[in-house]
Amino acid sequence: MAEITIREAITQGLAEAIETDESVFIMGEDIGEYGGAYSITKGFLEKYGAQRIKDTPISEAAFVGAGIGAAAAGLRPVVELMSMSFSLVAFDQIVNMAANLRYMSGGQIKVPMVIRAPTGAGVQLGATHSQSFETWLAEVPGIYCACPSNPHDALGLLRSSIKSDNPVIFAEHSHLYGSRGDVPDDYYEIPLGEGKVARSGEDLTMVSYGYGVHILEQAAEQMAQDGVDAEIIDLRSLSPVDYDTIVASVQKTGRAVMLDTARRTGGIMSEVVSEVQERAMDYLDGPVMRVGSKDVPWPYNRNLEQDILAQSDDVIKAARKIISF
Amino acid sequence: MAEITIREAITQGLAEAIETDESVFIMGEDIGEYGGAYSITKGFLEKYGAQRIKDTPISEAAFVGAGIGAAAAGLRPVVELMSMSFSLVAFDQIVNMAANLRYMSGGQIKVPMVIRAPTGAGVQLGATHSQSFETWLAEVPGIYCACPSNPHDALGLLRSSIKSDNPVIFAEHSHLYGSRGDVPDDYYEIPLGEGKVARSGEDLTMVSYGYGVHILEQAAEQMAQDGVDAEIIDLRSLSPVDYDTIVASVQKTGRAVMLDTARRTGGIMSEVVSEVQERAMDYLDGPVMRVGSKDVPWPYNRNLEQDILAQSDDVIKAARKIISF
Amino acid sequence: MDPSEKPRIATTGVVTPATPGISPEQKSTNGFDPTRSSSPSLSASIDKDELVRMYRLMLLIRRFEETCGQHYSLGNVRGFLHLYIGQEATGIGAITPLEARDYIVTHYRDHGHALARGLDTNRIMAEMFGKKTGLSKGKGGSMHIFDAAKHFMGGHAIVGAQLPLAAGIALAQQYLETDVVTMVFFGDGATNQGTFHETLNLASVWQLPIIFFMENNLYGMGSAVGRVRLQGADFSDVMGAYDVDTVSVDGMDVVAVREATQTAIDKVRAQGSPIFIEAKTFRFVGHSFADPGDQYRQKSEVEIWRRRDPLVTYPHRLLEYGLATQADLDDLSESVDAEIAAAVEFATNSPEPDLSEAFDDVYA
Amino acid sequence: MDPSEKPRIATTGVVTPATPGISPEQKSTNGFDPTRSSSPSLSASIDKDELVRMYRLMLLIRRFEETCGQHYSLGNVRGFLHLYIGQEATGIGAITPLEARDYIVTHYRDHGHALARGLDTNRIMAEMFGKKTGLSKGKGGSMHIFDAAKHFMGGHAIVGAQLPLAAGIALAQQYLETDVVTMVFFGDGATNQGTFHETLNLASVWQLPIIFFMENNLYGMGSAVGRVRLQGADFSDVMGAYDVDTVSVDGMDVVAVREATQTAIDKVRAQGSPIFIEAKTFRFVGHSFADPGDQYRQKSEVEIWRRRDPLVTYPHRLLEYGLATQADLDDLSESVDAEIAAAVEFATNSPEPDLSEAFDDVYA
Ligand SMILES: Cc1ncc(C[n+]2csc(CCOP(=O)(O)OP(=O)(O)O)c2C)c(N)n1
Ligand SMILES: Cc1ncc(C[n+]2csc(CCOP(=O)(O)OP(=O)(O)O)c2C)c(N)n1
Ligand SMILES: [Mg+2]
Ligand SMILES: [Mg+2]
């Protein structure tokens, strides 16, 4: 057991995959000589060489597409995007090609590829650099999506993602790279689609993923002082969503708040809320509350950005609407 | 009052705009010499000339972006995509540029542009050509989205869209081009964001847009035979969504079914369901039901495609879950 | 084959592109002399049987396409149907010199390539009919023909989207240190997509073992190439930006295409670096079955190209050089008809996929 | 200016690109002779006051950028900060010959262009600080400087995304039959985006009145241009594919850039067709403020380019030719410092936007 950061967990997962599976290689802008925009692959080029660690031109559509092709031809590429926001220029390749190839070919093609990218707002990068397109990509059939909230899950999910025979979007909230946590020495994996009860409680179910889980933890602590015992579910994967775990919790608590750190509209929680209220209506004491960042483009100014970002206060306010404390 | 098709209504709206506003021009692949893949602009090149009717190379990112630039410089481009599915290659231009420019510039830039495209599945075009990305684009702040279900609305919405100072996605369900209806001779507009009660009823609220409204009408007729009086709301715009009209109806009926012709997951109805159950929970007798096409890529085979498509039977089945008949 | 019977050897498949200032008629032939129409080259480097087999494959495509058109009208084939009629010499010349281990990636106008590659005619036809026995189990349709076992990696319907995929397959070959060549087909119109540029740059800077095979049929749907690029049909300068070897070849001359492609394949296999081949060709029919193809181009232009129809000129040449007798050709025509008829029967009699299959093949 | 005092006239801003086989040192200077370092050209076509004003603007950029760096360290400037230090001669040479009615579109490395265009120094700085008085009301930040009234259309942070926007502005000029020129800036790295290719083709086939201005600083973030294109820093062949006139100019020589650009502007204004200008330049600092800039390039390479620092060589030349005295330069330096200090004060004292403003400017 060692305490490491999420950054270190991801670095470890990548190194491990390269060392144990010859078909794994990494590709992306400035991941080699530069060491990665977020230093995830620092030292990799020197250690593993240019065949395994491929610097690319600034051509997301082409190198994401090339990852798909390499995967279709039997390799296991891990493609890094410098930002989830840049996935937009490769959207056709991801949504039309990676996701559909298997289906269109009647099951002949496999696309075992991971697309990793830092995501999320909160560091004043403005409207074009702060977006969370994993919430859209997770909605596409044929794609899996993982969003770890801690080093343990980051490593376990990355292992499953690289081993998956399907395209996986691996979304890393940029706030969390320095976030620390214990990671077992023994090998383990976390299956895609398996959520986790991160805190058990009786009064209220709160659901999020990635950085949102940390916000929920803050909110739960504060609510605990008011005598509210909140259960927290960490989705860990946005596709598949672990509805069984959520519904079981809601059946117990009768109340639910769902948190997206991305914008409220268009976030994955719109899906989750719709589905859960349908599946668990009989158990619900009130509406399923949906909390997310406010529905405007991301501003540069710090106060504005902080005001737009979903915060634990917003979660508590939503909880108050369905439970008095 | 004349009975015309949606195709004719759109053609009329475009012709009118070109004739009355010098800043309006049309741009797209094969809209000129070829007359448009769906013949919307047949004869326009001969009539209005190459300045107003611009054939483009197969470069969606560039010509959508050029539309944004032309709009920012004071013109009112109407850009045609041959299929909503092709918006993916221009997604960065639409989502990051068209939607964000005004905000990022602190309100200095206006983008009065319409992006028109046929959308929807059902004609066996397979996984890459049958998608409905208007549901994603409608979720982006800064973008409006119109989806007419009949010629009257098509013309009225197109007029407002072209006059809007904001980017508007104008989604034309390909099943509906031949759909007929009355259109007044006198000038009128339909404001973006204004839904309509297309059929009033007491027992159940059903919400959709575009081709979905026709499916709801079938369902309503059949349910009427079983003594169920369904109200139908035609959203007409996916952004803004007319929540007031929906909530008012749900307050009356206490029951709601929301229909997307697009895939259930990722459709706009996930948003609508989430929002409506939150706003109207106290009036609801059961969950808000969400119906959509099934969550798989679009197959070519006709039987499979028809089975996946949301149909009136699916609507009736959902209605049965919240109301016995 | 007796050496004394050897046909004259075509010196090269490389032709010079159209120059400015040529007559409209020359222009509409993309720089070719229409009088050459009856004289496709033959070659000693290809044996007689193969030269005849190439004709059979061309005929197979032509009849297959015609049959698809009929069945589209009958409602058995649906969706978009893009016929390859007119371009047969290009596909056959390009694909027959590939080895089984080589990969092919193409666009929606893919039946010709599929047949050239030797995919099962029955199963291609069944895919056209959307049947369970189709290569893609009826889920792909005309635009999405796949046969992974034969390294035929689709059939892709978004213009230009297949190019990065092909580069990735080539990258995998480089990574795995195979000598496998990847060939990717695309049209003149596809050169206007950003992926074309991005992929060429990738292939160039990474020196990938790939052949970019452009079928320049002078139109992207209804857009004459001259209306979407300043240099019109002249693509000779395109590759300057990438430092990729470029070959231009008469796409109506199956032997010229085959020889130029064979040379390119040998080079790519040996050196591992990319090559760009442009075949100058023409589709005789509309863009898709919905398009009569007469709105945006003159009848006369189509006529000029039809004079160079490889299905007319090439068998003529085979006869002329004594490589086949009329009886041989008649037999061959009959066997092609039989193959197509069998394929239609197979497709017709094949079951529809079970409804449950709609939910298969989403995830591996 | 007394004609007898006229400096020697630079014949042209056009330089030949680096040829293969040059020495590593020459290579790192992108084909320039480092001994030319102290001799930027001067020109009789630009009057003395303007030559001095250009120096002042260059100095304004340099000091502005240094100040931004300091305030980034202090936490007053946040987000990504891409400094223009080293490239001042390019921006000033390119932008000063534009007319007020002309449009400018650029990327995230935009403060230099904004200052060159004469945007209010106070309001640019206030935008850097995210203040209400900023040009974009604090919502855009460093990467999104806009001043629509001055036809400065951003500041765009997605590599290559600004190119189609600029083409659209140029298209509007063609449509409105103005003689307005649109100039769009981008880096060497941006040439790898599909939008670069698609936009050039549009501009070429539609003959748009646009100047594509590439600032080739040899690196896209940490990627040396030679690692992302086969031809490395040699962009001479890129435009062949589009038939767009290409000019290559020494980006460290402000007068050379200005003259080459003036010629291009005149041509575009008169003929309405596109021109591509490549300025060979270098950023002395890291890609963004987070990047020390020393991981992927040698100190010696930076040193060689620093010898050509236009902020050293150009004033030297002004003195040498008697266009300014040391006292003039000292005054000018003081006035620049005062302007920057005032801007910092303005930005510091400006209010934060009200929280409610977050909801403004989403829709018109
Ligand atoms: C991104 C995209 N835009 C538009 C289309 C519609 N479309 C299909 S084929 C085609 C023309 C392509 O022309 P070309 O590349 O020359 O190939 P050809 O059809 O002539 O073989 C167009 C515009 C598409 N499928 N994808
Ligand atoms: C589509 C996209 N991919 C990646 C990035 C991250 N990025 C920002 S600037 C840059 C380098 C661009 O280099 P160049 O075009 O040469 O301009 P320079 O920074 O040298 O001025 C990169 C990779 C981005 N902003 N957008
Ligand atoms: Mg073509
Ligand atoms: Mg650069």
| Shortest CA distance from B300: residue in chain C | C139
Treating both helix axes as pointing N-terminal to C-terminal, what angle do D254-271 and D88-95 enclose, rounded to 10 degrees? Answer: 30
- DSSP character string of D66-92: HHHHHHHHTTSS-S-----TT-HHHHH
A111: which chain C residues are within 8 Å (Cβ-Cβ)? 364
pLDDT for D31 equals 63
Which residues of C are less than 8 Å from B125 in CB distance?
Answer: 79-80, 141, 143, 157
With a cut of 90, say whether residue C314 has pLDDT above it: yes
Collapsed DSSP state (helix, strand, coil) of residue A156: helix
Average model confidence (pLDDT) across chain C: 90
- Say if the Cβ atoms of B91 and A96 lie within 8 Å: no
Answer yes or no: do D229 and A57 touch at CB < 8 A. yes
Distance CA A36, CA A28 (A): 8
Q: Quick one: pLDDT at residue C19?
A: 32
Given a cut of 70, whether residue C2 has pLDDT beyond it is: no
Say if the Cβ atoms of C153 and A106 lie within 8 Å: no
Substitution target in D108, D135, D171, D184 with the highest count of B β-carbons within 10 Å is D171
pLDDT in the model for residue D28: 57
Q: Of the candidates D7, D32, D58, which has an alpha carbon nearest to the alpha carbon of residue D315?
A: D58
Question: Binning pLDDT at 50, 70 and 90, where does residue C289 land?
Answer: confident
Residue given tokens 């997770």 in the structure block: A138
Is the separation of the CB atoms in B293 and B261 below 8 Å? yes
More confident residue, C113 or C7: C113
Which residue is associated with the tokens 């909390």?
A: A291
Q: Which of B8, B29, B60, B217 is catalytic?
A: B60
Provide the CA A70 distance to its chain's centre, in angstroms: 24
CA distance D249 to D214: 10
Backbone angles phi, psi at B182, to 5 degrees: -80, 140
Per-residue confidence (pLDDT) for residue C39, from 0 to 100: 61
**C21-25 average pLDDT score:** 41
pLDDT of residue B36: 94
> pLDDT at position C249, please?
96
* CB-CB neighbours of A32 under 10 Å: 26
Distance CA(C265)–CA(C102), nearest Å, equals 10
The shortest CB-CB distance from A128 to any of B89, B100, B299 is to: B100
CA-CA distance, C227 to C229, in Å (whole number)? 6
Burial class (CB in 10 A: 0-12, 13-18, 19+), D270: exposed
Name beta bridge partners: A162. Answer: none
d(CA A152, CA C341): 61
Structural element, H or E, at residue B17: helix B6-20
Tell me the C-alpha distance between B262 and A221, whole Å. Answer: 41
Between strands D182-187 and D210-216, the pairing is parallel
* Inter-chain residue contact C363 with A69, CB threshold 8 Å: no
Low-confidence ranges of chain B (pLDDT < 70): none
pLDDT profile of chain A (325 residues), mean per 10: 96 98 98 94 97 98 98 98 98 98 98 98 96 98 98 98 98 97 98 98 98 98 98 98 98 98 96 97 96 98 98 98 92
> Mind telling me how many Å the CA of C157 is from chain B's nearest CA?
7
Whether the CA torsion C168, B132, A141, C156 is positive or negative: it is negative
> Are D80 and A33 within 8 A, CB to CB?
no
Q: Give the residue on D whose Cα is nearest the Cα of A57.
A: D228
How many degrees, rounded to 5, is the angle at CA B58 between CA B52 and CA B62?
75
The secondary structure of C89-129 as a DSSP string is HHHHHHHTTS-TTSEEE--SS-HHHHHHTT--HHHHHHHHT
Residue with token string 């002949």 = A108
Q: What angle do CA A230, A133, A232 make, to 5 degrees?
A: 10
The answer, yes or no, to whether residue D2 has pLDDT greater than 80, is: no
The band of C29, judged by pLDDT with boundaries at 50, 70 and 90, is: low
C-alpha–C-alpha distance, residues D263 and D11, integer Å: 12
Assign C13 a pLDDT band (cuts: 50, 70, 90). Answer: very low
Residue matched to tokens 């630009």? D46
Can you spell out the DSSP letters for D344-358? HHHHHHSPPPPGGGG
- What's the whole-number mean pLDDT along residues C221-239? 89
CA pair distance D151, D114, nearest whole angstrom = 10
On chain B, the residues whose CB falls within 8 A of the CB of D134 are 106
B60 classed as catalytic: yes
- The predicted pLDDT at position D97 comes to 98
The model's pTM is 0.96
Q: How confident is the model at residue C33 (pLDDT cuts 50, 70, 90)?
A: low
* pLDDT tens figures, C153-194: 999 999 999 999 999 999 999 999 999 999 999 999 999 999
pLDDT at C261: 98
Residue B257 · residue B318 · CB < 8 Å: yes
- Chain B residue closest to A279 (CA)? B287
Taking an 8 Å cut-off on Cβ atoms, the answer to whether B300 and C295 are in contact is no
Judge whether B129 counts as a catalytic residue.
yes
Domains of chain D: 10-16+44-346 (3.40.50.970)
| pLDDT value for C42 | 77
Query: For position D39, what pLDDT does the model report?
Result: 61
How far away, in angstroms, is D220 Cα from ligand 2 center? 6
Nearest CA to ligand 1 atom 7: C159
A·D CB contacts under 8 A: 120
With an 8 Å Cβ cutoff, are B297 and C158 in contact? no
Among D106, D191, D287, D296, which is best to mutate for testing ligand 2, by the most ligand atoms less than 8 A from CB? D287
Q: How confident is the model over C34-79, as pLDDT tens digits?
A: 445 446 777 778 999 999 999 999 999 999 999 999 999 999 999 9
Helix (H) or strand (E) holding D323: none
Which chains, if any, share at least 3 CB pairs under 8 A with chain A?
B, C, D
Q: Are the beta carbons of D11 and D282 closer than 8 angstroms?
A: no
Percentage of chain D beyond pLDDT 90 is: 82
Cβ of residue C241 closer than 8 Å to a chain D Cβ: yes
Amino acid at A196: K
- Ligand 2 atom index nearest CA of D191: 15
Q: What is the DSSP letter of D131?
A: -
* C-alpha–C-alpha distance, residues D196 and B234, integer Å: 42
Residue of chain C whose Cα is closest to the Cα of B59: C193
CB-proximal residues (5 Å) to ion ligand 4 = D 187-189, 217, 220
**Domains by residue range for chain A, with CATH:** 2-183 (3.40.50.970), 196-322 (3.40.50.920)
When scoring C199, C200, C205 by the number of chain D Cβ atoms within 10 A, the one with the most, hence best to mutate, is C205
